[in-house]
Amino acid sequence: MRILFLTRSFNGLAQRLFLELRALGHEVAVEFDIADDVSTEAVALYRPELVIAPFLRRAIPESIWRHHVCLVVHPGIVGDRGPSALDWAISEGVAEWGVTVLQAEAELDAGPVWAAEVFAMRDATKSSLYRMEVTDAAVIAVLAAVRRYAETGLPLPASAGQQRSHWRPLMPQAQRRIDWQRDDTDTVLRKIRAADGQPGVLDQLSGIPCHLFDAHREDRPAWPCSPGTWFGRRHESLLRATVDGAVRIGHLRRADGQGHFKLPATLALAEQAALLPECGPADGAATHGSWHEIRSESDGDVAVLHFAFYNGAISTVQCERLRAALRHTLAQRPRVLVLFGGPDFWCNGIHLNVIEAAASPADESWRNIVAMDDLTLALIEATECLVIAAMQGNAGAGGVFMALAADLLWARPGVVLNPHYKNMGNLYGSEYWTYLLPRRPRSPCAAEVMGRRLPISAHQAQAMGLIDEVFGSSAAAFRAEALARARGWATAGGLQRRLHAKQQQRLRDEATKPLAAYRDEELAHMRRNFYGFDPSYHIARSNFVHRVPASWTPRHLAVHRDAPQAAAIHAVRQVDGDQA
Ligand code: COA
């Protein structure tokens, strides 16, 4: 089928649907929702059999939905309507939620239902639920709706749930406000999670208004502290007392005009943070009670490292902390090391927001990429054990190449990779990719991986030779099976032979061309990206961090704009314009 996506951006959900539909043989083109006449033009150019809106914030123009079936993905159960569906569901602590695919009509979210899917809620942020449960449910529901459209052309019969439908407004900040004198830790966490990734919960520190994100349960302070007191910092987070414990706030967005994007909390409010005592553990891989960004576990001969960096972005200091944790873990001499990344993202490369906030973004970009290279090098040089990158979440840019430093790459079926650096202002990339990509057993074509700007599904990545195994029906099942497989490797008779072969191969590779040479060549390109005359990377990064809305759809997505009929339609418009 010929399907047009009308979407605000090509976000994770849109990418996953795009990949799933294409894998079934459908043709999919994408148009960003920029202006009504641009969307109308896209429909005229592509002449789709079906329009799908994976992620929209505005109504589809009547001129489109009157003449085409338009299916809207709503992240709510049947009957739920409005723009803050998940926010309300998390705030109200519902046990089950869902995704509904409905047909666009005059009234928002009120059209006929084509498919719906439900899932169990989890204690997680809105964006985590969106990336995992909502995305998985949306895939099932959209594929069912497309099948239904092809087979019957008719929506589901109206259900009782639909008849009870009601509109819930955009959740206001007044509703999200935390009462630090009354709200217990669970309530505080729920309020912040319901607003994370956007818009955050408006609060303040020393009178400075700021939005709170990235909240986790924290140990109570060892000294008396009244509820609401900011009492310390742990790494880049700030700690705040609640009525019955404490929370850690990892990221803030100032709301006083002094910065408009999210930053690690101690960077967003550096002066205020400097006055608070450091409560961090000396070792990055602490294992005690409260939440830790980097967490190590060991199970006999299998060591596990979790690194749940917010949004998968890894700053210079985080690279250094992870490298220290890796050193500490390898010192225990495990036979197998499993790198789980975080629950939402494995890794998305250098921390673009921290770079944007630096006095010299070029210098901070350089420091960050050097730290990423050091980390990747430590993984390549871990030749005494079998290293496994186990991706429960998506990975982007340098994060993908860091994973290639492992001996084995495993992923959950829903994982989406964006290995290309090109989308970030034509970055050349580093992380030893020029060494790591060709050394894969079924060496994928470097031009295909680096040159294409489209996402890759886990199964596609496996077919291309980027990933070794894809398994697990859910994130939890994936983790459990990955651990079981890792234990199998640790006790397998052939492991010692494999490790010996790995060490010999590394020595041969080093003799052929030292790793330092790969690194120097890559970094020479990166130096030009950061300090050269072409500012593309700095512009792309700034647009990304400041969330500048797209003013056009990239050509690799808007394929309808390259088709011969595009030229014909433009010619007709030109004639019409001239005559007018
Ligand atoms: N640095 C800082 N923040 C990052 C980041 C990075 N490298 N990668 C992702 N994020 C943030 C986004 O800003 C967004 O923030 P929000 O919580 O404020 O909304 C969040 O992570 C989710 O990203 P989003 O782009 O909405 O997710 P997606 O699933 O649609 O797309 C990527 C995933 C990886 C394709 C996309 O985030 C991306 O291109 N990231 C940049 C990768 C990169 O170029 N890294 C630098 C080179 S190594």
HEC letters along 287-324 = CCCCCCCEEEEEECCEEEEEECCHHHCECHHHHHHHHH
Summarised one tens digit per residue, pLDDT across range 490-544 is 998 899 999 999 999 999 999 999 999 999 999 999 999 999 999 999 999 999 9
The stretches of 221-351 forming alpha helices (DSSP H) are 265-268, 270-274, 316-331
Do residues 265 and 316 both lie within one domain?
no
Residue closest to 212 by CA, chosen among 233, 191, 184: 191
Strand partners, 100: 74, 116
Please report the pLDDT score of residue 580 as a whole number: 40
Give dist(CA 89, CA 77) in Å, integer: 10
Give dist(CA 20, CA 8) in Å, integer: 19
Residue 397 beta carbon below 6 angstroms from any ligand 1 atom: yes
Summarised one tens digit per residue, pLDDT across range 14-55 is 999 999 999 999 999 999 999 999 999 999 999 999 999 999
Residue closest to 459 by CA, chosen among 492, 418, 494, 413: 413
Give dist(CA 142, CA 148) in Å, integer: 10
How many degrees, rounded to 5, is the angle at CA 455 between CA 450 and CA 456?
85
Do residues 204 and 346 both lie within one domain?
no
Please report the pLDDT score of residue 286 as a whole number: 45
223 in a structural domain: yes
Give dist(CA 418, CA 298) in Å, integer: 30
Strand partners, 456: 417
Contact between 266 and 238 (Cβ < 8 Å): yes
524 in a structural domain: yes
Going from the Cα of 545 to the center of ligand 1, the distance in angstroms, rounded, reads: 9
Do residues 224 and 129 both lie within one domain?
no
- The backbone torsions φ and ψ at residue 107, rounded to the nearest 5 degrees and listed phi first, read -85, 130
What parts of the chain have a pLDDT lower than 70? Answer: 160-161, 281-290, 563-580
Whole-angstrom CA distances from 73 to 136, 137, 481 are 12, 10, 31
Residue that is last in its domain, among 274, 308, 329: 274
Residue that is last in its domain, among 219, 242, 274: 274
551 in a structural domain: no
Whose alpha carbon is nearest atom 26 of ligand 1?
11
Burial of 213 (0-12, 13-18, 19+ CB in 10 A): buried
281 in a structural domain: no
Whose alpha carbon is nearest atom 10 of ligand 1?
311
204 in a structural domain: yes
Do residues 27 and 111 both lie within one domain?
yes
Do residues 81 and 153 both lie within one domain?
yes
Atom in ligand 1 nearest the alpha carbon of residue 424: 44
Do residues 322 and 198 both lie within one domain?
no
Buried b (16+ CB within 10 A) or exposed e, 70-102: bbbbbbbbbbbbbbbbbbbbbbeeeeebbbbbb
Do residues 268 and 298 both lie within one domain?
no
Give dist(CA 10, CA 550) in Å, integer: 10
DSSP 156: P
Q: What is the CATH number of the domain that holds 269?
A: 3.10.25.10
CB atoms within 10 A of CB 59: 17
Give dist(CA 485, CA 489) in Å, integer: 6
Do residues 141 and 248 both lie within one domain?
no
Do residues 355 and 406 both lie within one domain?
yes
Strand partners, 232: 239
Which of 193, 453, 544, 546 most suits a substitution to test ligand 1, by most atoms within 8 Å of the C-beta? Answer: 544
Give dist(CA 216, CA 189) in Å, integer: 7
Report the DSSP pairing between strands 408-411 and 456-457: unpaired
Residue 353 beta carbon below 6 angstroms from any ligand 1 atom: yes
Whole-angstrom CA distances from 117 to 86, 124, 151, 522 are 14, 19, 19, 46
How many degrees, rounded to 5, is the angle at CA 128 between CA 200 and CA 181?
40
- Joined together, the tokens standing for residue 542 give 């700034």
Do residues 298 and 269 both lie within one domain?
no
287 in a structural domain: no
**Which residue range forms the structural domain that includes residue 235?**
181-274
- Joined together, the tokens standing for residue 45 give 């150019």
Residue 348 beta carbon below 6 angstroms from any ligand 1 atom: yes
Contact between 402 and 350 (Cβ < 8 Å): no
Residue closest to 396 by CA, chosen among 359, 471, 341: 341
Q: How many domains does the chain have?
A: 3
176 in a structural domain: no
Residue that is last in its domain, among 514, 529, 544: 529
- Joined together, the tokens standing for residue 39 give 């969307």
Going from the Cα of 313 to the center of ligand 1, the distance in angstroms, rounded, reads: 7
Please report the pLDDT score of residue 492 as a whole number: 87
What is the three-state SS of 414-426? CCEEECCCCCCCC
Q: What is the CATH number of the domain that holds 486?
A: 3.90.226.10
Contact between 57 and 11 (Cβ < 8 Å): no
Q: Is 177 left (phi over 0), alpha (psi -120 to 50) or beta?
A: beta
Residue 427 beta carbon below 6 angstroms from any ligand 1 atom: yes
